[in-house]
Amino acid sequence: MLLAVLSGFILAALAPWLTRSLQDKAGWVLALLPAGLFVYFLSWVPVVVAEGAQVVAYPWIPGLDISLTMLVDGLSLLFALLISGIGTFIIIYAGGYLHGHEYLPRFYAIMFSFMAAMLGVVLSNNLITLFVFWELTSITSYLLIGFHHEEKESRWYALQGLIVTVGGGLALLAGLIMLALAGGSFELHEILASEELRDYGFYAGMVILILLGTFTKSAQVPFHFWLPNAMAAPTPVSAFLHSATMVKAGVYLMARLNPGIGGTELWLYALGIFGALTMFTGSFMALRSTGLKAVLAYTTVMALGTLTMLIGIGTEQAIIAAMTFLLAHALYKAALFMLAGALDHETGTKDITRLGGLRQLMPITFITACVAALSLAGLPPLFGFIAKELMFEATLQAPLISTFTTVLAVVSAIMIVAMAAVFSLRPFLGPLKETPKKPHEAPLSMLIGPVVLAGLSLVFGLAGFLPATALVGPAVAAVHGAPLDFDLYLWHGINLPLMLSVLAVVAGLLLFWQWDRVLAVYRRMTFIDRFGPERGYEKLMDGLVWLAAWQTRLLQNGYMRNYLLTIVLTTVGLTGWTFFVHTGSSAPLGTIEFAVHEIVVAGLVVLGAIVASVTSSRLGAVATLGMVGFGIALLYVFFSAPDLGTTQIMVETLTVILLVLVLFRLPAFQNLSSAAARLRDAVVALSLGGLMTLLILAVNAVEVTDRISDQLVAWSYPEAHGRNIVNVILVDFRALDTLGEIFVVGLAAIGVYAMIRLRAEDRKK
């Protein structure tokens, strides 16, 4: 199982070389890996159906309780089969779509990396590894969206997707840590077995943080805008990442956590309401779009909202509907995206209004598009019809929000029926329109995927028991937390969900008939673009740029004194606030005994600092600062740290020599700080000194029972085989520290030697 996940990364490293070697056959050969993974995951289905969830553990970092643990159950297997199965056709499709492209080797490398990361997300049982793979999907999708990196638009939209999803990922990380604390483990199967998650004191905050991560990933309102913009990526990317896999990562995590943290009013309202709004928004925006990929992108937003809404409703019927809808959507949407790419590839345009009459020139594409679009519209005998019927039934039975969800579901279904008809009929019927390229049927590599996936939509619709037993049933058991008995079939009798389906189809066809007029009305609604969430994102980015410029002017203005003031005041503020908040006036303060020679050296250090601050001579300032440094070296020696004392003397000597050689030719200070500035600096310096004094006194008041020096003495001979304890500590126990000091001494020696040589050369001149 671990090799199955990591094999994608291995092939990603080899893909560029293989692509150049195999030439036109690269897509077909490279597709053998996801095809083999599909067969491997398929072999796990009987095991999961018979025995339930399986945990496969591989130790990774045992000391930190982090392991590569895989959770294999119905939900993870369903996603793994979709990732590997659809991934097989996408790799083949890319070989035809990007044939001859100079960046095709790079594309395969990134695509296989993404595939491996996505498999890691859905199979990980450990929260840390899940999050690592989660972020890898964001990074690889950023590279795929920006595949055409020479184009400014591609770079902008790739960065937009990255910022939105990674920003949500930060919230998700905090939520997952809270989840681990609430469940007492980082292993998902142990966390979900806990019955105390909903009683966790910070349950609301934990859920909100997790949902921020899942909502951004799965393009829920108001974060939905990045997904249609990601269509700047090549069609194979859109077909894989943004229909069947990455955007469903958020849906996967919500479904995975549903048994543990679902079932509350917060969960119901958050997922139910935002999911329904996303469903409606996606359908509405699809109706006003004319680009092939834009239409499909917004219908994907609709589907993601539907899945989120159903998981939020959380009833048995809703969970069955969610898993059925997930499978149906993956089949027809991946097929439709690949067909959109085929139309664009063979005609040279993505604009639906510029296409027409292609039925006889592209008959296979036409038939396949009709079958997949029928499933999108939810018409029998396609699998999408079963999913839509179950969705209507679930919204009608939803607790508390049934009216809200049902109304939005019906309105959304009407608009989706219209757009399914637009996609499948407008480019193919009517008179042939002139296109930038002479249209013809796409090659086999670009048609095999859509044909097979659309065919599966038909087969699963006619034989619903196949997906119900092997795919949907185990997934429902994982999401619900217990197995459920149900059947998937086309005819449920004449009931309210069927009536709603008929209403959606009739109204949707009427809307399709008047689509040109509706489109004209929609295009006058410019306020949507001016005030939508994407404009909010752009304003936020502008605000970040302004904030960065402001803090640069304030903090990074080129004046060393301002840098020092900022560092010192920040240290005093944060450390002092922490000290006094946690200890108040009750902090015990110890006493320090001083010897006479220590007082004398400390006095010289203070005196040197004062003279360096008030003198008007550059050379005098350097000399007195040297006195401070050498005094510190003596204090190191007094407190049994001769190695530090030696290093300090070397560094101080080099510093004094360098400063003297540079400054002795310069005149005296011409401008001194104002009295107010000197007073400010004195207050800041005394604040830091006073705080450090308090901290040292507080530390000295703490009774240390076991000193580390005692342990080092005990280890010296038996562990390091040395009788000279100081040498053993320096060479064995603190080897890297001593190595650093040797480097410092060596650099000091090189610096002094260089200065002497330069002075000698000056005399010769």
Determine contact, residues 658/755, Cβ cutoff 8 Å.
yes
What integer pLDDT is reported at residue 109 of this predicted model?
A: 95
Among the residue ranges 3-12, 249-258, 647-656, the one predicted with the least confidence is 647-656
User: Of 248, 418, 423, nearest to 335 (Cα)?
Assistant: 423
* Choice between 213 and 554, residue whose per-residue pLDDT is larger: 213
What kind and span of H or E run contains 744? Answer: helix 735-764
The three-state (H, E, C) secondary structure of 504-556, written as one string: HHHHHHHHHHCHHHHHHHHHCCCHHHHHCHHHHHHHHHHHHHHHHHHHHHHHC
Percentage above 70 pLDDT, the chain: 95
pLDDT for 738 beyond 90: no
Give the 3-state secondary structure of residue 484. coil
User: Of 260, 261, 2, 250, nearest to 123 (Cα)?
Assistant: 2
Confidence of residue 61 (pLDDT cuts 50, 70, 90): confident
Residues with Cβ < 8 Å from 434, sequence gap 6 or more?
none
Cis peptide before 222 (omega within 30 of 0): yes
Give the 3-state secondary structure of residue 483. coil
Determine contact, residues 140/117, Cβ cutoff 8 Å.
yes
Report in angstroms the alpha-carbon separations of 438 from 29, 346, 362: 30, 7, 11
Question: What sign has the CA pseudo-torsion 546, 548, 554, 558?
Answer: negative
pLDDT digits (tens, 9 = 90+) for 122-179: 999 999 899 999 999 999 999 999 999 889 999 999 999 999 999 999 999 999 999 9
pLDDT digits (tens, 9 = 90+) for 462-496: 999 999 999 999 999 999 989 999 999 898 889 99
Please tell me the distance from the alpha carbon of residue 515 to that of residue 327, in angstroms, as a whole number. 29
pLDDT for 623 beyond 60: yes
Domain assignment present for residue 362? The answer is yes
What is the Cα Rg of the chain in Å? Answer: 34
Domain assignment present for residue 747? The answer is no
Determine contact, residues 406/515, Cβ cutoff 8 Å.
no
394, two tokens:
């679930």
Confidence of residue 338 (pLDDT cuts 50, 70, 90): very high
Percentage above 90 pLDDT, the chain: 59
Determine contact, residues 280/130, Cβ cutoff 8 Å.
no
What integer pLDDT is reported at residue 721 of this predicted model?
A: 82
Give the 3-state secondary structure of residue 606. helix
Instruction: Name the residue type at position 271.
Output: L
- Angle at which helix 383-396 crosses helix 444-462, to 10 degrees, equals 50
What kind and span of H or E run contains 119? Answer: helix 104-123
Among the residue ranges 394-403, 435-444, 727-736, the one predicted with the least confidence is 727-736
Strand pairing partners for 72? Answer: 54
pLDDT for 585 beyond 70: no
Domain assignment present for residue 751? The answer is no
Confidence of residue 670 (pLDDT cuts 50, 70, 90): low
* Choice between 671 and 566, residue whose per-residue pLDDT is larger: 566
Q: How many CB atoms lie within 10 A of CB 581?
A: 8
Confidence of residue 24 (pLDDT cuts 50, 70, 90): confident
Domain assignment present for residue 703? The answer is no
Domain assignment present for residue 388? The answer is yes
Instruction: Name the residue type at position 343.
Output: L
pLDDT digits (tens, 9 = 90+) for 72-98: 999 999 999 999 999 999 999 999 999
Domain assignment present for residue 430? The answer is yes
Confidence of residue 447 (pLDDT cuts 50, 70, 90): very high
268, two tokens:
């119901």
Please tell me the distance from the alpha carbon of residue 349 to that of residue 342, in angstroms, as a whole number. 10
Please tell me the distance from the alpha carbon of residue 237 to that of residue 86, in angstroms, as a whole number. 12
Query: What sections of 556-617 are H helices per DSSP?
Result: 560-583, 596-614
What integer pLDDT is reported at residue 615 of this predicted model?
A: 78
What integer pLDDT is reported at residue 597 of this predicted model?
A: 83
Residues with Cβ < 8 Å from 149, sequence gap 6 or more?
155
Question: What sign has the CA pseudo-torsion 561, 562, 563, 568?
Answer: positive
Domain assignment present for residue 681? The answer is no
Cis peptide before 381 (omega within 30 of 0): yes
* Residue range 636-646: mean pLDDT, rounded: 81
Instruction: Name the residue type at position 277.
Output: L
Label residues 86-106 b or e (16+ Cβ within 10 Å = b). bbbbbbbbbbbbbbeeeebeb
The residue segments making up the domain with residue 417 are: 263-525
Give the 3-state secondary structure of residue 71. strand
- DSSP for 8-23, written as a single string: HHHHHHHHHHHHHHHG
Domains in the chain, number: 1
Confidence of residue 626 (pLDDT cuts 50, 70, 90): confident
Domain assignment present for residue 20? The answer is no
0.85 cut: is pTM over it? no
517, two tokens:
């007029």
